[in-house]
């Protein structure tokens, strides 16, 4: 019995030391709010970062969170950014792709960037390589040294289901309703100690609710009911078909019961962003926070 106990002690650290963190690299919207970078979330598992979306400013925010520049997350050192997942092709979620691939390359990343996303992701990756062809040529064959493979993007176009696994994480993609986009996804990350669900841009969708049921962290976009009410009927219809209202989200969270609900990509059209948080809290009594850039959740 004593031998079994000692074996148990030896094996326990492999479970205890598994650690998952969520770093909000960008929490903004298409509106260029100066203190919010474009949407981007890092799921950090045992020292490895998995980036979901890469809006404008993604690499600067990652650098700010990294130990290279005074932050606390080793995995966000820029040369270690190696894998990313895209929810959909809207520019506010994807305009940081050239920054993500080339800045991490010139800082020393040796491998191609692994990129997973909907149909159209391969064309986007190829267009980036073509647009920066001369920069690539100079860095590969000119006076400025660079690694030979780091400029490349290995793009993988996905469907619903498990899209990626390794010894740290399982990543599942699920389709969401986002206007007329034929392929928009949310992601569910399952690690040894956490389940994290990221909505991307999504109107109220039962798939999000099902994937978020009992999750440790649900990161969800939202549009304020009050802000929406002062828009024209056209824009009200548009936003309702593309986004989840604060009251709708409160209902979804009440049924799914995540341990923590994180609001990001908050649309308030000139009102204070706390309006959306207050509206969610009116109808949801679980733990909910309004994310700021560089917030960390564990």
Which domains can be identified in the chain, with CATH numbers?
Answer: 19-297 (3.60.15.10)
- What pTM was estimated for this model as a whole? 0.92
Place of tokens 């991490």: 104
- pLDDT tens, position by position, 117-170: 999 999 999 999 999 999 999 999 988 878 999 999 999 999 999 999 999 999
83, 50 in Cβ contact below 8 A? yes
- pLDDT tens, position by position, 60-93: 999 999 999 999 999 999 999 999 999 999 999 9
Six token digits for residue 265: 């990509």
Q: How far apart are CA 77 and CA 173, in angstroms?
A: 26
């Amino acid at each position: 019995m004593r031998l079994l106990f000692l074996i148990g002690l030896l094996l326990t650290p492999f479970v205890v030391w598994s650690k998952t963190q969520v770093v909000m690299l960008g929490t903004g919207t298409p509106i260029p709010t100066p203190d919010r970078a474009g949407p981007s979330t890092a799921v950090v598992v045992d020292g490895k970062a998995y980036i979901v979306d890469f809006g404008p400013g993604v690499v600067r925010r990652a650098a700010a969170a990294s130990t290279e520049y005074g932050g606390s997350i080793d995995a966000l050192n820029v040369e270690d950014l190696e894998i990313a997942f895209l929810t959909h092709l809207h520019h506010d979620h994807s305009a940081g792709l050239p920054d993500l691939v080339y800045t991490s390359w010139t800082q020393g990343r040796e491998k191609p960037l692994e990129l997973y996303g909907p149909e159209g992701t391969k064309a986007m990756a190829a267009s980036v390589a073509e647009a920066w062809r001369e920069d690539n040529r100079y860095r590969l064959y000119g006076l400025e040294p660079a690694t030979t493979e780091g400029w490349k993007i290995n793009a993988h176009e996905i469907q619903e289901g498990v899209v990626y696994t390794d010894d740290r994480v399982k990543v599942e993609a699920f389709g969401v309703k986002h206007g007329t986009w034929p392929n928009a996804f949310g992601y569910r990350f399952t690690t040894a100690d956490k389940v994290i669900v990221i909505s991307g841009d999504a109107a109220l969708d039962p798939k999000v609710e099902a994937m978020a049921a009992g999750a440790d962290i649900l990161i969800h976009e939202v549009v304020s009911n009050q802000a929406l009410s002062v828009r024209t009927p056209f824009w009200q219809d548009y936003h309702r078909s593309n986004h989840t209202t604060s009251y709708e989200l409160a209902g979804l969270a009440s049924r799914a019961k995540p341990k923590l609900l994180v609001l990001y990509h908050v649309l308030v059209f000139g009102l204070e962003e706390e309006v959306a948080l207050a509206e969610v809290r009116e109808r949801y009594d679980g733990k909910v926070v309004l994310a700021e850039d560089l917030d960390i959740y564990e």
